[in-house]
A and B are shown apart, each in its own frame.
Chain A
Amino acid sequence: MTTSIPSATAATSTAAATAVSEDGENGRSDETGETGEISQTSGAAETAGAAETSGAAETAAPARRTGRRRRGGLSPGKRLPASRLIGPVLFFALWAGASAAGQLDTNAIPAPWTVLRTAGQLWSDGTLSTDILTSLRRAGSGFALGLTAGVVLALTAGLSRVGEALIDGTVQLNRAIPTLGLIPLFILWLGIGETFKIAIIAIVVYIPIYLNLYSALSGIDHRFVELAEVQGLSKLRFIREIVIPGALPGFFVGLRLGVTGSWLGLVVLEQINATSGLGYMMFQAQNYGQTDVILVGLLIYGIFGLVSDSAVRLIERRVLSWRRTLNS
């Protein structure tokens, strides 16, 4: 189909060059200094992401190439299969080897099989599953709350000047206070039950999510703003089709930091103010000198962290599939 344009009917209308509201235009420069630290984190994470997805181009150099061998370039090359597991497996092998050789003081560091046997016993008691559930519920509720708050606040601050004026400074202030320092105050306010723990975890989670998403939303490339104007996008479509998709990479950086934060918050809370959960189990074990139980707790924390991070990575790769094609 060919489109044709009636050339003579140039219905001219005065293009009003009046000032349009500035919202969402000029990149806001004020966050650069304050979130510098986060940006740095994001940079590192993006590099890691890029490394993860590159490599296809590096495979299979032509067989007939002689003389100067084709070098791998600066890309780290194709990812080894299941490479993420190599480090942990090696670590466990060393631990098991040293235990079997009797090189480790079993009171300080019990052998891996002792730890596993203890885990089995605790599981059949039924205590371990209750503790795990309690901890998961805490981390999960705190994370969900923090995620919601972070996203809602960042959207409000990133998409409206009024929201920005009200929210951004407040969050920056909140961020300057070490969240774990709020524990005593929160215990007084909310009691030593579940509520204060969830609240603290939510705060630890929302801050990185807010900072990264807000900075991604407000740092939208000015060239795309111009493009949206030229293409006649409405404000709503501009936000939906350009601002939000453009901010997703930043959001995922924040999300991963948030997930890590939820576990960090959980561990600290349960170690200091334990009344139930995995931390409580470990706290009790400390009183009785049961290093194997402490190691069971640490192991489970580690698995939680690893699994949740992998889940976020997986979602990120699905959602940001367009990034895979970045030529590396």
Chain B
Amino acid sequence: MATHTEQLTSRPAPSATTAPAAPAVRLRGLTRSFDGRTVLDHVDLDLPAGQLTALLGHSGSGKSTLLRAIAGLDHEVVGSGELSAPDRVSVVFQDSRLLPWRRVLDNVLLGTDGKEAAERGRAALAEVGLAGRERAWPNELSGGEAQRAALARSLVREPELLLADEPFGALDALTRIKMHGLLRELWERHRPSVLLVTHDVDEAIVLADRVLVLDQGRIGLDLTIDRAHPRSYRDPLLGEYRERLLAALGVTEDHTGSEAHPDQEDHQ
């Protein structure tokens, strides 16, 4: 299966507004396997600088594997291929991963140094709405607050590339919607390239300029979402994208709950 770019409209992608010249991330023939089982199978992918991309896929499809490869966290994994990524990469994990023995500000500053680091840390905490909680212990934060602190920790390093692996997966629906707004806002202000791994099709549609579906070790669908921000979850125009993505994920919306075959993808 070849990687194919699909667009619902013929207009050029909005990401063209940011310079598409040098991609932030470039993968060529990226292959990763565990115990002889190939999870990523010659993935080719360019992430343009400053683009917010979402990555969807079944559980076990290799989303985290791909993200960890880009983050350079997969030392022991067997693989091949070509990979280039920026120097300053931040990762937001599904759990906030704050060190329980450091206060929130010290957590945000983990790995940074310099005189004005503390100032930047404070500013980042203020940006995510945690001003005044600098001296709190991580255990005192709610799940959403902890995840915001983790976001602040990743921002403080001024990343060129932000990798997020289901960063809102453990949050309740209401908090998640607020976090979507926050993430989009932070992205607009700092413009890092973002790769957001998610299970949530709606999250992907509302947040991202481009949605990728990982299927059988390849990018099965590469969809540019050409809608102005902020997007509403109820926007009927987004329904089209949703159907397309669900079809690519092998889910049909015909209430029978039966799984569609891959070749049904082109029905509509």
Contacts and interface: CB of A to CB of B under 8 A. Distances in A.
B160 interface: yes
A229 interface: yes
B18 A15 contact: no
Contact of B87 (A2, A11, A327): A11
Given A15-B72, A223-B95, A230-B73, A5 B87 contact: no
Which 7 interchain pairs have the tightest Cβ spacing?
A: A231-B111, A7-B50, A10-B49, A7-B191, A1-B123, A15-B85, A245-B101
Contacts of A232: 111, 157
B120 interface: yes
Interface stretch (A16-24, A63-71, A141-149, A208-216): A16-24
- Size bin of chain B's contact surface: 35 or more
A140 interface: no
Contact of B72 (A10, A17, A228, A322): A17
24 contacts: A1-B120, A4-B189, A4-B191, A5-B158, A5-B159, A10-B86, A13-B84, A15-B70, A15-B84, A15-B85, A15-B89, A17-B74, A223-B93, A224-B99, A226-B93, A229-B72, A230-B71, A230-B89, A231-B110, A231-B153, A245-B102, A322-B100, A322-B137, A323-B100
A12 B26 contact: yes
Interface in A216-240: 223-224, 226-233, 237
A11 B49 CA distance: 10
B140 interface: yes
B73 A226 contact: yes
Interface of B: 18-19, 21-26, 49-50, 69-76, 79, 83-87, 89-91, 93, 95, 97, 99-102, 110-111, 119-120, 123-124, 127, 137, 139-140, 153, 155-160, 189-193
Contacts of A27: none
A224 B101 CA distance: 12
Contacts of B97: 223-224, 227
Nearest to B24: A10
Given A10-B24, A224-B99, A326 B119 contact: no
A10 B140 contact: no
B137 A10 contact: no
A5 B111 contact: no
B130 to A, nearest CB: 15
B74 A12 contact: no
A101 interface: no
Nearest to A4: B190
- Size bin of chain A's contact surface: 35 or more
A1 B160 CA distance: 19
A176 interface: no
A103 interface: no
Contacts of B26: 12
Contacts of A323: 100
Nearest to B113: A237
Interface string A244-287: 01101000000000000000000000000000000000000000
Contact of A3 (B84, B91, B110, B155): B155
Nearest to B106: A241
A18 B75 CA distance: 6
Contact of A322 (B24, B71, B139, B192): B139
A22 B127 CA distance: 37
